[in-house]
Amino acid sequence: MKKYNFNAGPSMLPREVIENTAKQILDFNGSGLSLMEISHRAKDFQPVVDEAVALIKELLDVPEGYSVIFLGGGASLQFMQIPANFLIKKAGYVNTGVWAKKSLKEAKHFGEAIELASSADKNFSFIPKDFDIPTDLDYLHFTTNNTIYGTEIRKDLDAPVPLIADMSSDIMSRPVDVSKYTAIYAGAQKNMAMAGVTVVIVKDDMLGKAPRELPTMIDYRTHVEKGSMFNTPPVVPIYSLMETMRWVKAQGGLKAMDALAQERAKIVYDEIDRNKLFRGTVATEDRSLMNICFVMNEEYAELEKPFFDFATERGMVGIKGHRSVGGFRASCYNAQTIEGVKELTKAMQDFEAQH
């Protein structure tokens, strides 16, 4: 039966990315060796890294003076690597959920890191707005998309200080004004590639300013200078990343991804709002286009498990909500199709008709 993948991460990738990567795993560029067996220094692999970097720069319209690097350790390692490299005196953090909280916790190892605003009192069901931003911050850190709760800051904040963002779960889904940022980072496994590589975009002239000794691997300059080849990079994940960037470009780039995201999300949210069984869980104006969270209305609470089973029988995968929210979460990253979300809303309608 056809499956519709709504996993929150690792998540759905375009079919052709998977097929092309699979082919290279069997025989890399006709070399007779697998992509899994070649040296990262092989002459055929450097072009893969170069093309992946070039496509990210092109798609995100990255200005001069920024470097794109590929690292290990996930977005979680960036929670400490960001402040290690960029926290000089004081940094501000917006607490919009578990990931944001973890990033703040790690920053405190390196200096003064303050929580400027939080939506913890309402289980992170909204995005704090109109909070004061001190002008003496080294940077303002925020999480653009809160994967667990389904809220999103789908814009580049206006702030009197440079921005740093964890864009793990909505990077490449809209155009971004990179010039506002000191750094952008994202674990690739939500919207860009298979798991195993983290994309970090850093502003070169902000590097080397932090008043501390940095271990070699933690210093971004190591990876910028060596073109992400200081140590062995994750070859297969980078290859799949390059393939996804080709696919995004072929679809029309980030404006097209944005339009598709709007269209998909509208289909699902319209159904949540119309259907008597379901309701959304977050403030309407802060609804994520990437992770669409919903629960049963109170009077139908006992239908949660039956709906889950009903949808699963129809091929829906990964729609169970995170345990801290409950209910359902339909993750709609770039590769999610209109067909997929229509199948989901059809299941919601058909289930409603039975009750």
Ligand X SMILES: *Cc1c(COP(=O)(O)O)cnc(C)c1O
Q: Of 100, 6, 1, which is closest to residue 328 (Cα–Cα)?
A: 6
Q: Which is nearer to ligand X, 34 or 123 (CB)?
A: 123
Burial class (CB in 10 A: 0-12, 13-18, 19+), 90: middle
Q: Which is nearer to ligand X, 166 or 271 (CB)?
A: 166
What residue type is assigned to position 59 of the chain? Answer: L
Q: Which is nearer to ligand X, 167 or 277 (CB)?
A: 167
The DSSP element (H or E) to which 48 belongs, if any, is helix 46-60
Q: Which is nearer to ligand X, 296 or 335 (CB)?
A: 335
Q: Determine if 166 is a binding residue for ligand X (CB under 6 A).
A: yes
- Measured from the CB of residue 33, what is the shortest distance to ligand X in angstroms? 29
- Measured from the CB of residue 129, what is the shortest distance to ligand X in angstroms? 19
CA 13 → CA 25, 72, 264, 331, distances in Å? 17, 20, 16, 12
- Measured from the CB of residue 76, what is the shortest distance to ligand X in angstroms? 3
Positive or negative, the CA dihedral 37, 40, 46, 50 is positive
Out of 138, 166, 219, 286, the active site residue is 166
Residue 247 appears among annotated catalytic residues: no
Write out the binding residues for ligand X, residues 189-228 only, by CB under 6 A. Answer: 190
Q: Determine if 9 is a binding residue for ligand X (CB under 6 A).
A: yes
Q: Which of 92, 128, 187, 280 binds ligand X (CB under 6 A)?
A: 187
* # residues contacting ligand X (CB under 6 A): 12
136: how many CB neighbours lie within 10 A of its CB? 9
Q: Which of 168, 191, 240, 334 binds ligand X (CB under 6 A)?
A: 168
Q: Which of 66, 99, 142, 239 binds ligand X (CB under 6 A)?
A: 99
Q: Which of 24, 119, 169, 173 binds ligand X (CB under 6 A)?
A: 169
Out of 57, 138, 170, 190, the active site residue is 190
Q: Which is nearer to ligand X, 108 or 322 (CB)?
A: 322
Phi, psi of 275 (to 5 degrees): -75, 130
Q: Determine if 334 is a binding residue for ligand X (CB under 6 A).
A: no
Beta strands in 139-290 (DSSP E): 139-143, 145-146, 151-152, 163-166, 181-187, 198-203, 278-280
Give the Cα separation of 34 and 25 in Å (integer): 5
- Measured from the CB of residue 336, what is the shortest distance to ligand X in angstroms? 16
- Measured from the CB of residue 157, what is the shortest distance to ligand X in angstroms? 16
Q: Determine if 234 is a binding residue for ligand X (CB under 6 A).
A: no
Write out the binding residues for ligand X, residues 59-78 only, by CB under 6 A. Answer: 74-76
Q: Which is nearer to ligand X, 296 or 325 (CB)?
A: 325
Give the Cα separation of 91 and 116 in Å (integer): 9
Phi-psi region of 150 (alpha: psi -120 to 50; beta: other; left: phi over 0): left
CB 20 within 8 A of CB 48: no
Write out the binding residues for ligand X, residues 102-161 only, by CB under 6 A. Answer: 143, 147
CA 353 → CA 28, 83, 264, 275, 320, distances in Å? 51, 52, 23, 10, 21
Give the Cα separation of 73 and 122 in Å (integer): 31
- Measured from the CB of residue 293, what is the shortest distance to ligand X in angstroms? 13
Q: Which is nearer to ligand X, 138 or 166 (CB)?
A: 166
* Tokens 């990253």 sit on residue: 333
Contacting residues toward ligand X, per CB under 6 A: 9, 74-76, 99, 143, 147, 166, 168-169, 187, 190
Catalytic sites, residue numbers: 99, 166, 190
